Structure 1
Amino acid sequence: MKRATAAGALSLTAVLLFQLAAPSPAHADEWRDKEYWLTDYGITEAWKKTQGEGVKVAVIDTGIDPSHPDLAGAVSGGTDVSGAGDPRGARGLGVNPEHGTLVATLLAGRGHTDSGSGDSEDSADSGDSADAKDSGDKDKEKYDGPGNGPDGIIGVAPKAELLSVSAWIGGSNPGGVPIDDQLPNAVRWAVDSGAKVINMSLGSSSTAWPESWDDAFLYAEQNDVVIVAAAGNRGVGMIQVGAPATIPGVLTVAGLDRQGKASWDSSSEGISIGVAAPAENLVGGLPNGPARYAEWSGTSAAAPLVSGVAALIRSAHPELSAAQVINRIITTAKDGGAPGRDTLYGYGIVDANAAVNANVPAVAANPLGTIEEWIRIHRRGEAPAAPESEPPAGPAVPDIPEPQVPVAAEPYLEEDPVPAALVLGFGGLILLVGTAGTIAVLRVRRSGRAVPEPGTEGPPEGGEREKAPAELV
């Protein structure tokens, strides 16, 4: 029952994790102009140092169409873990088969020249197609920018290699493999195939994850792989972040609107959020057909932007561990919302240029935690491990002197006007009270009336009561 519930929740949110606009057959260069995040978030500056060369990024999704003009040469391998897809992960699956290609183009799209836009079928005859191809080749020869040309979608890491892992996310899988088995199989295959970054633009409505996922995420952690996951979208009911974005060590990405503020519909909230990236008014490539572009929104689109940044870092700094890559991304992020880390922006808003080029001190462990420690405590019930080394010495603690034992002081022999006045004052008061009492007694005695002792009634034993003189009445 637990496995079935987890799978159903994951399927639902993965299906609704993005909002696809109606596709348009507009010319590809119009789509390049819409990629505002390239300049606004430091990506074009980061390209001056690296474009993701030599880094493999696995996209665990619904499958990638490698025939898209903007993905020419980008997909270097793939597999299917659903039992129902193309063996190379090259065909979209499930109720949203275009999802994987949209993600792939944002992450590592290479663009193209106009002749590869896929619109050649609209030409009047084959001669027009040949002329368009010749024109495109000339444009490509002149182009010296990133990727393969000035048109179409260019990703954050246009020279990174993609590994496509197709899974059946949403609906009933005709291949018969449950999602609880597909995802760990996908992670293991990606690690074994040389991925240094894994993108997971999918999520669950539950913060918990099946135990069957533990070993796979631990395997990725032990093999120094960065895993990036989408936080989910409030607009489809994901109020809080769900698994796999809640797994310790995973870099969880929240969504921003066009103004750089936390998106209401295209993001969610949670303590596991690491960083925020654009999630509204985005564009991406679609598989198959002449209309190959669309606008879309959601953290499904924000996650590959951050995965692309991770690829840029791993290309520019191949000596860095996965923990250090994540640390660079979150420590260079620009603070958003409440000061410090919060549940909407995490550590802040991603800054690709700073993440690649800033001077960031190295760390020994992933600041987002480790799945290894979590398994040991929560699955095995072991107590947290004691620190392996002594903590660094802090400021010196001042010596506290031994308490002083009071010593009796010698009598003060000289006159002190203040204490003398106090003593004299009290002496005068006592003398005054004594004198007043004496006068009162004499007056009573003159009156001829004896003062009985306390507790006595009548005259003293052996005599009569003395009569008081009349003048004293």
Structure 2
Amino acid sequence: MVVRRGRWGRLPGMVSALTSCLLCAGLCAGLCARTAAADGTADWRIEDMGVRDAWDAGLTGKGVKVAVIDDQVVRDYPALADADVTYRLALSHGDSCHGEYDKGRTMSKRDMTLGTADGFNMTHGTDMVALIVGNGKGYDGGAGIQGIAPDASVIAYADSFPTTGPIGGFFTGEGCMDADGNNAGQVESSVTDAVDSGARIINMSFGGGGENWYYPQAALHALRHGVILVSGRNNSTDAGLYDLVGKPAYTQYFPGTVTVNSLARDGTVSATSDVMDGNVSILSPGADTPRYNYTGDRDLVFADGGTSTAAADLTGYLALAVQKWPEATGNQILQSLVRNTRGNDSGEARLDGEHRTGVRRGGPAAPAVGRPDGLSGREPAAGVGGQGQRTGTRRPRACTRSIPDWTDTT
């Protein structure tokens, strides 16, 4: 995480939650409806984390542009029916690409999404987008994924083909290759396009694969423009580096990236990634969260969403903060975030081996983002806040292009 010294405003306590579901019934829909599974399991990433208080204060992500880089999205998933989502395919060159193993699978700049008619009811990318901007509606009139910032604008970049079966985990996606059989370079091209398109936050809920030395120039381009990069660490108990030093050739560890680990409702790190990792910046809800286990599923369940969900949830929380403080730089938002964590009243970021800078303050075990310093004359912000992380979908690419010059100053 990029650190900037200075004084940072702090956040007052959250206002009380909505008093009763009965008061909501018949008076409003959508955001007023409690989110829960059929068995009554609460969507704690919303109910416990101060999100309803933010909505009640008018913070829904409206006016904030977010980019999500992931596999193809199912465009007719009901929770995305009224969401502001633009679909794009950003390639390093050309207008289309084909599957790494199945050349019959193609994507083009005119057609990069999936539909239920293609045999997919859910994909990893669909899940990540819905966690940010979903309306809570599912298939067959059932519950679906509710987004944390439902009025945000999303650019969904397709970077791979999903495979049928389990969602998330190792090798559950297929890369998209150019006519010469090389990786089409969607990640770095997507990051660059997102920055140039005005995105304030870029979510990358993936990891693993080999080094990508084409990525650093795109990441630097984002950071120089104040864009917040969010990524989850791998869903594994393999220890990371002891110190927060970064790994420039990896999207999840590029210096300045907000690397997220998954939090359980009881405040512990999720079992699937419970390990010391010095490059993790913060924790976010990932366990016992809404998801679909398989690409053919139509019924929502609550299970371990892993670091993918944790990253997407953090992106949603940050979108609420950016709406409240549109003049704040990305660094100001992040510095305020890490200085306003549960149990930390020092006004400075504190690190520990397990929780890193911690869990964001707010309601019970809730996140918060305080007023960034330098925005004088404005009131403090209202508080805001497995589906396994995709791994192994990216392979080390052949050096068919020259390594970029990192001195880009655009």
* Fold in common (TM above 0.5): yes
Percent identity between matched residues is 26
**Structure 1 position 182, deviation (Å):** 2.1
Cα 1:59–1:359 change in 2 (3 A) is closer
Cα 1:96–1:293 change in 2 (3 A) is closer
Looking at structure 1, the residues matched to 332 and 322 of structure 2 have their Cα atoms a distance apart, in angstroms, of 10
Check the 8 A contact 1:262/1:345 in 2, yes or no: yes
**Structure 1 position 315, deviation (Å):** 0.6
**Structure 1 position 193, deviation (Å):** 2.3
Matched, 1:108 2:118: no
When you count helix as a share of all residues, which structure comes out higher? 1
Counterpart code for 1:351: R
Indicate the residue corresponding to 1:214 in structure 2: 216
> What TM-score results when the alignment is normalised by the length of structure 2?
0.64
**Structure 1 position 175, deviation (Å):** 3.1
Matched, 1:90 2:113: yes
Match for 1:361 among 370, 373, 377? 373
Counterpart code for 1:107: I
Q: 5+ residue gaps in structure 2?
A: 1-34, 92-96, 98-105, 162-170, 242-246, 376-403
- Give the SS at the match of 1:273: coil
Looking at structure 1, the residues matched to 233 and 158 of structure 2 have their Cα atoms a distance apart, in angstroms, of 20
TM-superposition CA deviations, 1:188-214 (whole Å, max 9, x none): 1212222111100011267xx432111
TM-superposition CA deviations, 1:105-124 (whole Å, max 9, x none): 21221224xxxx4327xxxx
Match for 2:350 among 328, 336, 340? 340
Indicate the residue corresponding to 1:131 in structure 2: none
Counterpart code for 1:102: D
Indicate the residue corresponding to 1:119 in structure 2: 140
Matched, 1:229 2:231: yes
Matched, 1:351 2:361: yes
Check the 8 A contact 1:106/1:284 in 2, yes or no: no
Check the 8 A contact 2:122/2:296 in 1, yes or no: no
Q: 5+ residue gaps in structure 1?
A: 1-26, 121-149, 364-378, 383-473
Matched, 1:331 2:339: yes
Match for 1:163 among 155, 159, 165? 155
Matched, 1:247 2:254: yes
**Structure 1 position 347, deviation (Å):** 0.5
**Structure 1 position 350, deviation (Å):** 2.5
Cα 1:89–1:227 change in 2 (3 A) is farther
Q: Which runs of 4+ in 1 moved over 6 A?
A: 286-290, 379-382
Check the 8 A contact 1:260/1:278 in 2, yes or no: no
Q: CA RMSD for the aligned pairs?
A: 3.6
* Alignment of structure 1 residues 355-434 onto 2, 5 Å: 358-362=370-374
Matched, 1:54 2:77: no
> What TM-score results when the alignment is normalised by the length of structure 1?
0.56
Q: Which structure has the bigger radius of gyration?
A: 1
Match for 2:51 among 43, 46, 62? 43
- Give the SS at the match of 1:227: strand
Check the 8 A contact 1:257/1:278 in 2, yes or no: yes
Check the 8 A contact 2:80/2:134 in 1, yes or no: yes
* Alignment of structure 1 residues 132-281 onto 2, 5 Å: 151-168=143-160, 170=171, 173=175, 175-176=177-178, 178=182, 181-204=185-208, 209-234=211-236, 238-240=238-240, 243-281=250-288
Check the 8 A contact 1:106/1:156 in 2, yes or no: yes
**Structure 1 position 254, deviation (Å):** 0.9
Looking at structure 1, the residues matched to 188 and 43 of structure 2 have their Cα atoms a distance apart, in angstroms, of 33
Looking at structure 1, the residues matched to 286 and 297 of structure 2 have their Cα atoms a distance apart, in angstroms, of 25
**Structure 1 position 225, deviation (Å):** 1.0
TM-superposition CA deviations, 1:301-358 (whole Å, max 9, x none): 100110001100111110000111111221112259xx93023322001236786563
Looking at structure 2, the residues matched to 307 and 184 of structure 1 have their Cα atoms a distance apart, in angstroms, of 19
Looking at structure 1, the residues matched to 295 and 234 of structure 2 have their Cα atoms a distance apart, in angstroms, of 27
Counterpart code for 1:328: S
Cα 1:381–1:315 change in 2 (3 A) is closer
**Structure 1 position 102, deviation (Å):** 1.2
TM-superposition CA deviations, 1:145-195 (whole Å, max 9, x none): xxxxx9532111111111110112746535336558221011112122221
